[in-house]
Amino acid sequence: MYRLKSLLRLCQRSSAVPIRIVSTRDQHSQFNMSTPGISTVYNDIIKSAEDKRSYRGLELDNGMKVLLVSDPSTEKAAAAMDVHIGSMSDPWELPGLAHFLEHMLFLGTTKYPSENDYTQFLSEHGGASNAFTSAEHTTFYFDVAHEYLSGALDRFGQFFLCPLFNKDSQEREVNAVDSENKKNLNNDNWRLAQLEKTTADPSHPFSKFSTGSKETLEITPQANGIDVREALLKFHADNYSSNIMCLSVIGRESLDELSELVVDLFASVEDKSVKIPEWPDHPFKEDKLKLRADIVPIKNLRQLNVTFPLPDLRKHYRSEPTHYLGHLVGHESAGSLLSELKAKGWVNTLCGGAKLGAKGFSFFIINVDLSEDGINHVDDIISHMFQYLNMLREKGPQQWVHEECRDLDAMKFRFKDKERASAYVTKLCHQLHFYPMNEVLFAPYCMDEYKPELIEMILSLLTPDNIRVACISQSFQGKTDEVEKWYGTEYRLCQIPEETIERWKNIGLNRKFHLPGRNEFIPTNFDICEIDKDLTQVPTLIYESPISKLWFKQDGTFQMPKACMYFEFSSPLAYLDPVSCNMTSLFSVLLRDSLNEYAYDAELAGISYSIDSTIYGIQISIGGYSHKEPILLKKIMEKLTQFTIDETRFQVIKETYTRMLQNFVAEQPHQHAAYYTSVIISELAWTKDELADAMEEVTIAKMKDFLPQLFSKLHVEALLHGNLTKEKALNILELVENILKENCRTKPLLPSQRIRRREIQLPDGCYYVYQRHNEVHSVSGIEIYFQTDVQTTRNNMLLELFCQIISEPCFDILRTKEQLGYIVFSGVRRSNGVQGLRFVIQSDKPAHYLDLRIEAFLLAMKAHITDMTEDAYQKHVTALAVKRLEKPKRLASEAIRHWTEISSRQYNFERDGIEVAYLKSITKDDLLTFYSEMIAAGASKRHKIAVYVQPPTQTRDGFKEMLDQPDAASKNDLLLNNVPDLEECVQITDVTAFKSRLPLFPLPTPFTNETKSKL
């Protein structure tokens, strides 16, 4: 009780933020420490008073920790298990074994031996699942319609009791791991992370390769006489012990019912008394410090990453000294490290703070994104870093800074939004490993202990003697002398000269650096607006003028002191040509950059904002605590309408933006395929190449001429949603209109200038193929798109139901059994009011072959649906209904749903209810008719377009060779028999000519008549 009392005292003394916390207690529980299977019951879980859910903690006799969440309003039940073992515990001779084991647990258990029983059960009941492996954790999670928690949890629990590890499943699934690894080989984030490991102490488990590949999990082990299946069984037997497992479950059931369910299913998991691995020795020992690595990236990146080794400080969660220092080092206001480095023209962004390693060690990092000039001033930038740290030492720890961080965290806890059930349990089961059970919800937000000595201790470690530097730039090409083993990264590692270290040690102070001021954006008014007697369930048009429309919805659901604001400033000039598009995009980045020092405090205080360019103009959104949002909006509008271009920042940001366009070439092949599909079927889309080529024409002089024209004629459409009244909403829009008129003399657009873009209408019976090469990656990406029709209630539900039914078989057949690749996806594609069925695959197999396998799969789906029982069919109808009717968990999620309807100009705010009501009328025969008319090969109204993105080495001849060697390539093709070859296609060689010959779809009819409400 001492800690609870101390937290209550904290709440009382916090003047800025009134915090309310309570302790969950269930006085009528039948579960206690004498209940078989349970050793300890915790009914005093500290939670926010705004949290209406009930919690209970259990420690089972087998040592497993469990957190139960009873939420009578949840549509989805969910569970997550975190096993405190990960890739750092891999045997040295089997890199990636923990990750491989994670994959294998999905593929059958003794009780449920079918490989896809678990995923099929979830799919049929509106659920989904996933897992991930990190350095010291392996985490599994799922969600499902709340009525089916028991069946899902039973299947889930078998992962930890009796997995099969079938030999044939193992031989296939190693290909999925290999494909996952290949996907990451040219990803700079993965390459840099592995290089950090590779250049650490080679005897430390931190240095291991964690993903695994066919080489490490099949070829090399076979050559060395290692039985990988036996190794999997041994790893599971040795490490999957109940005493290092933490489980979290959320459902509608009472806490007693959830307790009984968990005890029945998990009390029999074996306790092997496994000791949680700990690594007190740091992987960056003395001989791994004062090093600089020059690294060649795949993309045209320029980064400077500075790292200092730290001990594991997680036990100090109540004082959070690294949070204090990260808050200051990463601050972006005037007087900050970032502010000065930007003024020098050397950097664009900076992040600083603690980075977890594993149990026993951690890091403190300062990472910056360098400008073109910045790469020539690396030592100077690091000098500034040490000058800033010297300023912090000179000033000493400041209690007011700690208290401000404390109050901000406490405010986050009190007004914490609900999360998706699966995300929530995933986070909670991880937290169970690190915090006392009764504090597991509150501890990540708790900073009630001020310990300046810990801050000073960490500062004493952030010195030149403890530094590691990584410089990332393509300018190092040809200047390196080493190649990293797993990813092939080229780099050069050298000792930092002692004279440089000495200069940093004696760098002194820079008087331009100072502590940030007190945060004036921290809200002090948390009152909930009085609910309007005419409260509506959907947004209402409350104002319309020649220049603007305002949609408004007062929140009556979440009852939080928060609001969301969306504004779209539409101008036909924004996307007129590639130069105009670039200038609009560049302006949005420059505007954000110019606001950064002012608005950073707002973001710290829980008011987020974004400024983005779209094909229609500029979109501004603000979300968070409603009290001071209008202050930020006013500043944004004043900057937007009176913008002055800073020449230094313009040149830096223009160069960064140009590199971003050029770097698209290094994105994943499946992303390229999706991008080219969009370019081909959109009425107007400037390509990345067209935009990059046009950047030469973008100058300061041209920008100065363009911006007044951009804002001279506009249409503004807005949504204000949340803790607001109609009067406040109208005042906010009046503010926006007045600033536009006063500063830009803005006039309204003509109605004909406000028409949305449309989509190309493919002809009946067509099959088009568009092919591109990707020079960076060695694998193929493919998107197959079957365009169906304009969005209507009937069309939407037929397509979504078809996708619901084929989703799990698609993954099971094409990914798990045929092993086409790690990325295999099917689903709905929608744009410009038109929709269709899409398949996306990334694979080392040729694109033409992937196309054939998709056709084979679709052919099999006809029999799959035809033979489906009515009961099975209705399960899918219900599963889709559950997904569609799941309510938003927070205000921001509800607001984005409404904004999507507004920005598309469809205005169907009650879409989910309307479409689900229609869904229930669709019969299996209706679905088969849809398939036979729109999807089946040879269908009269089929509209197919295939985009192939392949490495230059893959050809149609390679595809023929592969078919001649079935053991090497197609031994898993279950549906190959009696599948005809692809029909003759029409190759798209000129996208512009292709689009010019085809008509456009009409836009969907707006659902609402936009009647203005009475004020």
Q: Which amino acid is at 309?
A: P
Distance CA 757, CA 832 (A): 6
Mean pLDDT of 232-239: 98
Instruction: For residue 1014, tell me if it sits in a domain.
Output: no
Mean pLDDT of 945-973: 65
For 995-1004, give one letter per residue: b (16+ CB within 10 A) or e.
Answer: beeeeebebb
675 in the same domain as 632:
yes
Fill in the DSSP letter of residue 63: S
875 in the same domain as 748:
no
pLDDT, tens digit (0-9, with 9 covering 90-100), for 918-933: 999 999 999 999 999 9
Among residues 266, 299, 319, which one ends one of the domains? 266
Q: SS3 for 469? A: strand
Mean pLDDT of 244-252: 99
Specify the number of domains making up the chain.
4
Distance CA 554, CA 523 (A): 20
Give CA torsion, residues 217, 491, 376, 372, to 10 deg. Answer: -40
Specify the DSSP element, H or E, that contains 740: helix 726-744
What confidence score (pLDDT) does residue 731 get?
A: 98
588 in the same domain as 449:
no
pLDDT tops 90 at residue 22: no
Q: What is the mean pLDDT of the chain?
A: 94
What confidence score (pLDDT) does residue 941 get?
A: 97
Can you give 769-826 as a three-state secondary structure string?
A: EEEEECCCCCCEEEEEEEEEEECCHHHHHHHHHHHHHHHHHHHHHHHHHCCCCCEEEE
Distance CA 663, CA 670 (A): 15
316 in the same domain as 258:
no
Distance of CA 592 to the CA centre of its chain: 22
Cα–Cα–Cα angle for 730, 732, 737, rounded to 5 degrees: 90
689 in the same domain as 836:
no
pLDDT tops 80 at residue 216: yes
What confidence score (pLDDT) does residue 340 get?
A: 98
Instruction: For residue 432, tell me if it sits in a domain.
Output: no
pLDDT, tens digit (0-9, with 9 covering 90-100), for 630-689: 999 999 999 999 999 999 999 999 999 999 999 999 999 999 999 999 999 999 999 999
pLDDT, tens digit (0-9, with 9 covering 90-100), for 23-79: 665 445 666 666 899 999 999 999 999 999 999 999 999 999 999 999 999 999 999
Instruction: For residue 191, tell me if it sits in a domain.
Output: yes
Instruction: For residue 631, tell me if it sits in a domain.
Output: yes
Distance CA 792, CA 283 (A): 58
Instruction: For residue 109, tell me if it sits in a domain.
Output: yes
Q: SS3 for 834? A: strand
What confidence score (pLDDT) does residue 30 get?
A: 65
209 in the same domain as 348:
no
Residues in the chain: 1015
Which of 50, 75, 93, 102 is flagged as catalytic? 102
Distance CA 781, CA 822 (A): 11
How many other C-beta atoms lie within 10 A of the C-beta of residue 264? 14
What confidence score (pLDDT) does residue 983 get?
A: 86
867 in the same domain as 736:
no
307 in the same domain as 198:
no
Biggest distance spanned by C-alpha atoms of the chain: 80
Cα–Cα nearest to 721, from 552, 568, 889, 567: 552
**CATH number of the domain residue 671 falls in:** 3.30.830.10
What confidence score (pLDDT) does residue 27 get?
A: 43
What confidence score (pLDDT) does residue 978 get?
A: 61
What confidence score (pLDDT) does residue 954 get?
A: 74
Q: How confident is the model at residue 981 (pLDDT cuts 50, 70, 90)?
A: confident
247 in the same domain as 313:
no
Distance CA 248, CA 981 (A): 49
Distance CA 39, CA 712 (A): 71
What confidence score (pLDDT) does residue 973 get?
A: 54
Fill in the DSSP letter of residue 94: S
Q: How confident is the model at residue 960 (pLDDT cuts 50, 70, 90)?
A: low
Mean pLDDT of 315-341: 98
What confidence score (pLDDT) does residue 35 get?
A: 83
201 in the same domain as 338:
no
What confidence score (pLDDT) does residue 4 get?
A: 30
Cα–Cα nearest to 354, from 396, 407, 394, 314: 314
What confidence score (pLDDT) does residue 447 get?
A: 96
Can you give 3-61 as a three-state secondary structure string?
A: HHHHHHHHHHHCCCCCCCEEECCCCCCCCCCCCCCEEEEECCCEEECCCCCEEEEEEEC
Instruction: For residue 103, tell me if it sits in a domain.
Output: yes
Instruction: For residue 277, tell me if it sits in a domain.
Output: no
Q: How confident is the model at residue 953 (pLDDT cuts 50, 70, 90)?
A: confident
250 in the same domain as 354:
no
Strands 65-70 and 540-544: unpaired
Instruction: For residue 162, tell me if it sits in a domain.
Output: yes
Can you give 125-177 as a three-state secondary structure string?
A: CCCEEEEEECCCCEEEEEEEEHHHHHHHHHHHHHHHCCECCCHHHHHHHHHHH
DSSP code per residue over 669-694:
HHHHHHHHHHHHHBSS---HHHHHHH
558 in the same domain as 442:
no
* Structural domain of 459: 286-413+437-505
Give CA torsion, residues 497, 500, 505, 511, to 10 deg. Answer: -160
pLDDT, tens digit (0-9, with 9 covering 90-100), for 113-151: 999 999 999 999 999 999 999 999 999 999 999 999 999
Among residues 266, 299, 327, which one ends one of the domains? 266
Q: How confident is the model at residue 361 (pLDDT cuts 50, 70, 90)?
A: very high
Active site residue 603: no
Distance CA 221, CA 202 (A): 21
Mean pLDDT of 967-979: 50
516 touches 330 (CB < 8 A): no
Q: How confident is the model at residue 966 (pLDDT cuts 50, 70, 90)?
A: very low
